[in-house]
Structure 1
Amino acid sequence: MPDHSPSLNDRVALVTGGSRGIGRAIALALAAAGAAVAVNYRQREREAADVVAAIEQAGGRAFAVRADVSVAADVKTMIDEVTGRFGSVDVLVNNAGTGNVFDIDTLTEDEFDRTLAVNLKSAFLCTQAVLPAMRAKRWGRVVNLSSAAARGPGLIGVHYNASKAGLEGLTRGYAARVAREGVTVNAVAPGPIDTEMAGPLKAANIANKLPVGRLGEADEVAEVVLMVVGNAFITGQTIPVNGGVSFI
């Protein structure tokens, strides 16, 4: 039986927000597929170092790179560092995000702006930074981590809904413009996943409301990211990973 897992030998991957949860699982999966992985973090230096250590212990190549990916100057410095260490980025996973819970009566303009900067603007900045090299090589993969909240009510707030819906629009816009240059751009939209940010999901007893009867695992999201990275004919799509919470 043929092995359909992608071979990423000689490829360079960058995972933003790669120090924990879904980002950590994606970084480990990309490394297991052969990629050299840059693990981005903003504050969690120890956790990022743990991801790097796990990759290196398994025989892979990785390093941790600090940057606030919502800030253009930080993104430029980060991309320069990754290029200097490993070469130009072939696989970009825009995973960095924030999700503080606010209802419409307590949500402030500052929190709205911060959420869009971290969840949406960061993907724009990082994608703009890596696309020239991808287009020159005529090979590249961009995967944006969206959410079931992009197309549903969500539990976090309208600021989060808006940021993730915008991310899916960004995905389709880029995909349409670079597809003929060998670059695919897709979104993966997790539903309720059991990470350290799952407190509100557990408090709302979401697991029992899902058709599968449980929260998802970070590794299950990483598997779908690998799938779209390995497929050159999928682009401009949002792949839901949500345990049947929505069939759209």
Structure 2
Amino acid sequence: MSAPVLFGQIALVTGATGGIGKAICRALASHGSSIVIHYYSDEEEARSLARELEAEYQGKLGINVLCARADMGDYNEVRKLHAYLVENLGYPTIPINNARTNGGYSGIVSIDQVHMEDFERTWRINCGSAYLLTQLCMPAMESEGWGRIIFISSVAGFTGGVVGPHYASSKSALHGLVHWLAQAYAKKGITVNGVAPALIERTKMLPGSTKVLASKIPLGRLGAPEEVAETVIWMVKTPYVTNKVIGVDGGMFPQ
């Protein structure tokens, strides 16, 4: 039997205890990638996911699973996170930058509603830590001549969204990172892409009731975390796809 397509690769999934993060971990593990489950506060959820992946895929596909905590708003902790996983598992070749926050705000209608300190922390978590992790992971991917970098953005990066200016600007910044990095590293075997979900069920940042939100979507329902994960898998498995930010939004916004 041939080895699974991602056998020998190591995926680092930040913000892995939410609905989208867990779905991405499961999808990557099912294709043979070892998984680093990053979490900030929900250790039990991270350990539970690790046990699930080990039971399902460790013996069958030979994957390894590691849990690692870090505050993505603290760059020193981000550096320690990278050092810890390199020491205990190896160099990640599939960094999935999924950690995100809205800073506790939603439905902002005036720019003076978001304090500067909250704006900056939102940016550090949503964009700065993703930049730093990419910077830390890049040398090993260059050495291997293979890498798949994914940024989990939001349709707010295209449209401004309904959360607030701090969130929208941090997500649109990821799109700029995708475009610069993809062009700089394409000939080195490293692809760089983004996924921009909207209104995904079983996530912590839905801005309203499921029924009301579903009525706004052309498909008439919320998206599933697994549908976001399938988009990630397509990007990871397909070496001819790079420099793209794909909306997964049920047809809400044309691109």
| TM-score range relative to shorter protein | over 0.9
How far apart are the structure 2 equivalents of 1:180 and 1:71? Answer: 32
Which residue, out of 48, 59, 77, partners 2:80? 77
Q: Any conservation in 1 of the 2:199–2:206 contact (CA below 8 Å)?
A: no
Aligned equivalent of 1:188: 195
Conserved? CA contact 1:150–1:161, under 8 Å: yes
Aligned 8 A contact 2:93 2:141 in 1: yes
Match of 1:213 among 206, 220, 223: 220
For residues 1-248 of structure 1, what are the structure 2 equivalents within 5 Å?
A: 7-60=5-58, 61-99=64-102, 100-102=104-106, 103=108, 104=110, 105-202=112-209, 205-248=212-255
* Structure 1 match to 2:61: none
Aligned residues of 1:29 and 1:223 also touching (Cα < 8 A): yes
- Distance verdict in 2 for CA 1:156–1:234, change over 3 Å: same
- Distance in 1 between the 2:131 and 2:40 partners? 17
Distance across 1 between alignment mates of 2:91 and 2:179 = 23
Deviations 1:77-121 (A, max 9, x none): 211221222221110000000023242242111111111111000
Contact kept? 1:15, 1:37, Cα under 8 Å: yes
Instruction: Name the CA distance, whole Å, in 2 between partners of 1:199 and 1:231.
Output: 30
2:240 counterpart letter in structure 1: F
**Number of residue pairs the alignment of both structures matches:** 243
In the other structure, the counterpart of 1:3 is none
Letter in 1 for 2:236: V
CA distance in 2, matches of 1:190, 1:27: 17
- Residues 69 and 126 in structure 1, CA contact (< 8 A), matched pair in contact too: no
Question: Aligned-pair distance for 1:204?
Answer: 8.3
SS of 1:200's equivalent in the other structure is: coil
Matched-pair contact (CA < 8 Å) for 1:101–1:155: no
**Distance in 1 of aligned mates of 2:243 and 2:142:** 17
Q: Deviations over 1:5-37 (max 9, x none)?
A: x71111111000111210111011111110110
Contact 2:192 2:243 in 1 (8 A): yes
CA distance in 1, matches of 2:179, 2:94: 17
Give, as a single letter, the amino acid of the residue that structure 1 aligns with 2:88: R
Gap runs ≥5 in structure 2:
59-63
Moved more, 8-17 or 80-89: 80-89
Report deviation, 1:72: 2.5
Distance (Å, rounded) in 1 between the aligned partners of 2:194 and 2:136: 18
Q: CA deviation at 1:203?
A: 6.8
Contact 1:20/1:48 (<8 A) preserved: no
DSSP-derived class of the 2:113 partner: coil
Separation of aligned partners in 1, 2:168 and 2:18: 22
Structure 1 residue runs of 4 or more that deviate by more than 6 Å after TM superposition:
none
Distance across 2 between alignment mates of 1:92 and 1:188: 13
- Counterpart AA for 2:155: A
**Preserved CA contact (<8 Å) 1:39 1:48:** yes
Q: Helix, strand or coil for the counterpart of 2:7? A: coil
TM-score, normalised to structure 1's length?
Answer: 0.94
Greater mean alpha carbon deviation, residues 72-81 or residues 149-158: 72-81
Q: Supply the AA of the counterpart residue of 2:49.
A: V
